[in-house]
Amino acid sequence: MFNQIKDLAGGEIYLITSLLMFMVFFVIVGIYLLKLNKKHIEVMSQLPIQDHQPIAHEED
C-alpha cells in the first residue's frame, strides 16, 4: 500500500493539498464553535422542545 503512495509520480501534491484543506476546515469550525455565544447555543438547543416564545431579536 505504501509503495503505491510513493510511486505517484507528482500526484502527492493533491494528497497534501486535500489533507491541508481538510485540516484547515475543521480548525476553522472548531474555532467558530469555541467562540460561539453560549446563550445562543442554549436558546437553539431548546427550540425543538419548547413552545414558541419570542426571541429578543424577533419583531412581533
Predicted confidence (pLDDT) per residue in 25-49, tens digit: 999 999 999 998 889 888 888 887 7
Distance CA 28, CA 8 (A): 30
Q: Is 43 exposed, middle or buried (0-12, 13-18, 19+ CB in 10 A)?
A: middle
Residue bearing cell 419570542: 54
Distance CA 32, CA 4 (A): 37
Could you tell me which residue, 5 or 33, shows the higher pLDDT?
Answer: 33
Average pLDDT, the chain: 79
- pLDDT more than 90, % of the chain: 27
